[in-house]
Amino acid sequence: MKSFFRLRSLQISRRIQLNLVLLASALLGVSGSVIAASTVDLYQEQVVVSQNASQKEQNEAIQSSFARLLVRVTGITQVLEYPTVIDELKQGSKYLATFRFEPSDVFFTNVLGEKVPTKLMNLTFDKKTVDAFLVQNRLPVWGEKRPDVLFWIADRLEGQDHILADAEESRLATIVAEQTDIRGIPYLLPIMDLTDSLTLSFSELYGLFSQDIEVASERYKPEAILTGRVLAGSDENSYQADWLMLFKGERLRLPTVTGTLDEVIAQGVDLVAQRLSEQYALILDPLMLGNLTLKVSDIQSLGEFAALESYLRTINIITKATVRSFSGTDVEFNVEISGDQSQLQDVLALDGQLSPVEEVSLEAQLDNRLVFQWQEKK
């Protein structure tokens, strides 16, 4: 009975501490809000080759870079298994817009154990031709505006309880950065200040208790959450991990994965990329176009109208947008989309540039019309 009251007292004390911290944050004007989405550079690649690389070595580097790019743009690793993609990988150089060499401080080791100097290939692939290839083969195209994902990772890799935090310099942090960059996933890590520490304990995170994790994540306002625990395996280079993704009310659990640290982290990132690709990537079929009216209010100047037109051109699901009418600060567009209305709404919701306005009239619903308010970029 005494142990019960002691536990209850600790729980109440912890709750009081948390409430005081949250109140202090509010009084000091500390904001937990972050941008819901980020723009990712999908069509750039870097690869290290030997200083005197042959044409064959350079072609192989371009091929491997093109393969990584296709996975990043589609969001799915299975894209490399399609016969048309397998054949096209050998033609990766024809999708290049530019490439250049830069100095590199990396050294390779040859079969004789000698150090070989290297150089860095900077490759820029042409977005239009890459996207056209994917569209032609009815493969998904995931745009450059992508939702931010909050990562909560608990580990005991150094023999003690640890939660991966923002601005941390560790091997685990480096691998997370590398794997998310490969897949084009913008991510953030908890800052692990007093608020985080009081809101979510190591044991709650390590146990993958989704309700506790969601509460702790509220201050970051992420579009999706990846949570996991990482353990050292039986030998020096062996690890295991359990992953759970929280997204739009779903709880997607990945069975325990094993491998190198890079491999088990890559599995978690792959879970995120696959699910977000399903939500936001589009199969742009020219034969399956839809039409709707897009009304945007609060356009205060010619400059804002030009910015709106420019913004609509960046939305990959929109194949054509023409002005239908002006009325005061409102402008209506006839919009042609390759996809459905809900997909367009998901894509537009990513960065909050257009804020949805609910239309309740039957006329508006029958008119297949979406209404938004323009949010000026700061």
pLDDT reported for residue 95: 97
Integer Cα distance of 237 and 243 in angstroms: 19
> How far, in Å, CA of 124 to CA of 104, rounded?
18
DSSP string, 106-139: EEEE-TTS-EEEEEEEEEEE-HHHHHHHHHHTT-
Rounded to 5, what percent of the chain is helix, strand, coil?
40, 30, 30
If you search the block for the tokens 């353990």, which residue do you land on?
A: 231
Do the Cβ atoms of 271 and 180 come closer than 8 Å? no
Give pLDDT, residue 35: 44
Select from 316, 280, 278, 318 the least CA-distant residue to 296.
Answer: 318
Type of residue at 173: A
Pairing status of strand 96-109 against strand 115-125: antiparallel
Q: Is the dihedral of CA 267, 273, 279, 284 positive or negative?
A: negative
pLDDT at position 364: 54
The pLDDT value recorded for residue 315 is 86
Which pLDDT does position 25 carry in this prediction?
A: 40
Query: Nearest Cα to 226, choosing from 149, 148, 174?
Result: 149
Q: Which residues 6+ apart lie within 8 Å of 94 measured at CB?
A: 129
Per-residue pLDDT of the chain (378 residues; tens, 9 = 90+): 433 333 334 343 444 444 444 433 433 333 333 347 888 999 999 999 999 999 999 999 999 999 999 999 999 999 999 999 999 999 999 999 999 999 999 999 988 888 999 999 999 999 999 999 998 999 999 999 899 999 999 999 988 999 999 989 999 999 999 999 999 999 999 999 999 999 999 999 999 999 999 999 999 999 999 999 999 988 888 999 999 999 999 999 999 999 999 999 999 999 999 999 999 998 876 666 788 888 999 999 999 999 999 999 888 888 889 999 998 899 999 998 877 788 888 888 887 888 888 765 555 555 678 899 998 754
160: its two tokens = 């003690």
Separation CA 202–CA 288 (nearest Å): 49
Main-chain dihedrals φ then ψ at residue 320, nearest 5 degrees: -160, 140
Q: Which of 318, 331, 333, 292 lies closest to 145 in space, CA to CA?
A: 318
Please enumerate in sequence order all residues whose Cβ is within 8 A of that of 246, keeping only pairs 6 or more positions apart, or say none: 210, 213, 214, 217, 224, 225, 226, 227, 252
